[in-house]
């Protein structure tokens, strides 16, 4: 085995896809391994019994003008169709229904029009939310402003420093403090909505959430968020194909069995053979990566504990007649069965239904993905029998919630499949089936892990447990920043820049 790649990427969720594409863009010799036969990981589109399902019920952001996915789609002519939605989500509880508009002003006015709404407090709260979100989303729209920094990036931050001042009073504070300040604690509809949004986006309630992270995440409704026609797998495949067009080596159905560090490089032992690389980027959980690594100790920088403070997911996958509802486009619901119970374990579900024109199955059929968060301690610490009982009870509650708001759907479904933490563990190799990233509970510790760090010599992690995490867009951006850090640390030349310079020289002197 004489050839040594610059870098090997393990796992092609969106963190792995983002890092592999960035390596390929910069001309690195990159090889990527994926255990499944399709890309996307927990944000993929899979096929079963003639139907195509989203792995998780969710929306996708990053498709606005100038945002990462839109830039990739335009630069590489990716055959991806993004559909903005209106409303983006319909939020339902026994007490009220709220349609979430992608127009910020209309969204705020809908809250102010609700009975008993403290309109002044709502407007002040969302004014603060916009100021902080505008500042944070600039970093997503210009990922070069995220670590690792170039000198030009640091200068940009210095120039932007006045924009960061509104953040300072809220660092380390729970979102509850902002609700208290603006007199919104007793306005139950908004409180329920924020609890649900925080649970979905940053994995904890509004009472616990780190305020800047929560206020930034709340803006995703207005930031190029909507539906990918045919499923998010279309985007994942488009990125994968672009990687190969740029010279990257992508290997599906070739799961990594061991990462062995010796003689200053990594031996990657896979199902189909051995490969060597100078550096490894793992799109697996810290504990799963640790199980693969031998020959050297691995540091997880406390990430695994934070993952274990997070969640698993239970799923329902339905194939239903196209006429089951009167809207032909794709749409999404957040459903709360009982507002007085925790927004977990089937009491709170997110429902995504495909459009009628997406080729998700036989003519006249649509697919539905339903998901809920589940606390993992009872599952991880249980016996196989108690685990099965725990998951069965959760899925029964999910079905009850679905019947409460969408009566008849389960009865009319041609196909009903269930998913559990065990399902995610089996298919995505996520240890114990943890999903969703690190809960952003209020505290300063979040700001200590902004810079990509090696977890062993030339071994890095990407994905939703690594900053910025939490969504397809965030994990993809994190992947690009880790790739940039690896290129600089290992002094891998940016062959893309060399090629550009060579082409410019040739054009200048009319060399063909």
> Would you say 283 and 459 are in contact if contact means Cβ atoms under 8 Å apart?
no
pLDDT (tens, 9 = 90+) of the chain, 512 residues, equals 579 999 999 999 999 999 999 999 999 999 999 999 999 988 899 999 999 999 887 889 999 999 999 999 999 999 999 999 999 999 999 999 999 999 999 999 999 999 999 999 999 999 999 999 998 888 777 767 666 666 666 677 677 777 778 888 899 999 999 999 999 999 999 999 999 999 988 888 999 999 999 999 999 999 999 999 999 999 999 999 999 999 999 999 999 999 999 888 999 999 999 999 999 999 998 889 999 998 888 887 778 888 888 888 999 999 999 999 988 999 999 999 999 999 999 999 999 999 998 989 999 999 999 999 999 988 999 999 999 999 999 999 999 999 999 999 999 999 999 999 988 888 877 888 888 678 888 887 777 767 788 889 999 999 988 887 778 998 999 999 999 989 988 877 766 544 444 444 344 334 43
CA distance 261 to 251: 21
Task: Give SS3 for 316.
Answer: strand
CA distance 127 to 122: 8
> Would you say 308 and 46 are in contact if contact means Cβ atoms under 8 Å apart?
no
> Would you say 41 and 17 are in contact if contact means Cβ atoms under 8 Å apart?
no
CA distance 238 to 241: 5
- Give the dihedral of Cα atoms 471, 302, 457, 6; nearest 10 deg: -10
CA distance 429 to 209: 28
Q: What is the torsional sign of CA 263, 269, 275, 281?
A: negative
CA distance 120 to 128: 13
pTM equals 0.91
In this prediction, residue 168 carries a pLDDT of 86
CA distance 141 to 467: 16
CA distance 133 to 138: 8
As to burial, measured by CB atoms within 10 angstroms (0-12 exposed, 13-18 middle, 19+ buried), residue 264 is exposed
User: What are the distances in angstroms from CA 146 to CA 67, 105, 443, 492?
Assistant: 14, 29, 20, 20
CB neighbours of residue 127 within 10 Å? 11
Plot region of 479 (φ>0 → left; ψ -120 to 50 → alpha; else → beta): alpha
The structure tokens 């298919």 sit at: 427
Buried b / exposed e along 50-70 (16+ C-beta atoms within 10 A):
ebbbbbbbbbbbbbbeebbbb
The structure tokens 């300040």 sit at: 181
In this prediction, residue 151 carries a pLDDT of 64
Report which of 234, 218, 247, 226 is spatially closest to residue 6, judged by C-alpha positions: 247
User: What are the distances in angstroms from CA 24 to CA 20, 21, 28, 151, 487?
Assistant: 6, 5, 6, 24, 11
In this prediction, residue 154 carries a pLDDT of 67
Residues in Cβ contact with 189 at an 8 Å cutoff, skipping those fewer than 6 apart: 93, 95, 96, 98, 111, 114, 117
Report which of 117, 98, 173, 262 is spatially closest to residue 446, judged by C-alpha positions: 173
CA distance 463 to 41: 10
Main-chain phi, psi angles of 435, to 5 degrees? -140, 160
In this prediction, residue 507 carries a pLDDT of 44
Q: Rounded to 5 degrees, what angle do the CA atoms 28, 33, 39 make?
A: 105
In this prediction, residue 501 carries a pLDDT of 43
Give the start-end residues of each E strand in 390-483.
415-419, 459-461
Cis peptide before 468 (omega within 30 of 0): yes
In this prediction, residue 495 carries a pLDDT of 60
């Amino acid at each position: 085995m004489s050839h040594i790649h610059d870098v090997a990427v393990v796992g092609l969720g969106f963190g792995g896809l983002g890092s592999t594409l960035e390596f390929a863009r910069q001309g690195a010799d990159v090889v990527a391994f994926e255990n499944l036969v399709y890309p996307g990981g927990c944000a993929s589109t899979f096929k079963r019994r003639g139907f195509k399902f989203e792995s998780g019920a969710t929306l996708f952001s990053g498709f606005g003008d100038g945002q990462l996915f839109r830039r990739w789609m335009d630069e590489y002519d990716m055959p991806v169709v993004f559909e903005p939605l209106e409303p983006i989500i319909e939020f339902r509880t026994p007490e009220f229904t709220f349609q979430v508009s992608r127009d910020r002003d209309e969204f705020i006015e809908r809250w102010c029009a609700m009975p008993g709404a403290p309109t002044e407090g709502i407007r002040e709260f969302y004014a603060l939310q916009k100021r902080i979100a505008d500042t944070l989303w600039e970093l997503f729209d210009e990922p070069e402003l995220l670590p690792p920094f170039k000198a030009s990036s640091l200068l940009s931050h210095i120039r932007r420093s006045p924009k960061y001042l509104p953040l300072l009073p809220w660092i380390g504070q729970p979102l509850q403090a902002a609700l208290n300040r603006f007199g919104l604690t007793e306005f139950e509809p908004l409180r329920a909505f924020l609890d649900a949004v925080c649970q979905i986006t940053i994995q904890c309630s509004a009472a616990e959430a780190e305020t800047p992270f929560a206020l930034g995440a709340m803006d995703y409704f207005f930031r190029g968020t909507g539906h990918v026609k045919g499923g998010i797998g279309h985007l994942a495949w488009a990125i994968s194909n672009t990687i190969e067009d740029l010279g990257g080596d992508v290997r599906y159905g070739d799961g990594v069995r061991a990462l062995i560090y010796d003689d200053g490089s990594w031996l990657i032992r896979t199902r189909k053979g051995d490969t060597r690389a100078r550096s490894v980027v793992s799109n697996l959980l810290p504990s799963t990566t640790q199980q693969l690594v031998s020959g050297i100790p691995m540091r997880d920088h406390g990430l695994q504990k934070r993952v274990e403070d997070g969640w698993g997911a239970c799923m329902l996958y339905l194939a239903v007649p196209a006429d089951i509802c009167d809207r032909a486009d794709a749409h999404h619901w957040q459903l709360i069965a009982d507002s007085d119970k925790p927004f977990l374990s089937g009491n709170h579900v997110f429902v995504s239904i495909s459009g009628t024109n997406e080729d998700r199955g036989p003519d006249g059929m649509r697919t539905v993905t339903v998901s809920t968060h589940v606390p993992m301690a009872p599952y991880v610490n249980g016996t196989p029998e108690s685990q099965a009982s725990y998951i069965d009870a959760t899925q029964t509650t999910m079905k009850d919630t679905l019947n409460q708001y969408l009566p008849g759907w389960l009865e009319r479904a041609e196909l009903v499949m269930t998913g559990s933490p065990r399902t995610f563990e089996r298919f995505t190799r996520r240890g114990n089936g943890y999903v969703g990233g690190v809960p952003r509970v209020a505290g300063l510790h979040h700001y200590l892990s902004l810079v990509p760090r090696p977890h062993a010599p030339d071994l890095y992690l990407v994905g939703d447990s690594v900053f910025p995490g939490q969504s397809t867009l965030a994990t993809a951006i994190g992947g690009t920043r880790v790739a940039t850090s690896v290129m600089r640390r290992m002094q891998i030349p940016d062959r893309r820049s060399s090629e550009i310079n060579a082409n410019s020289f040739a054009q200048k002197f009319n060399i063909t």
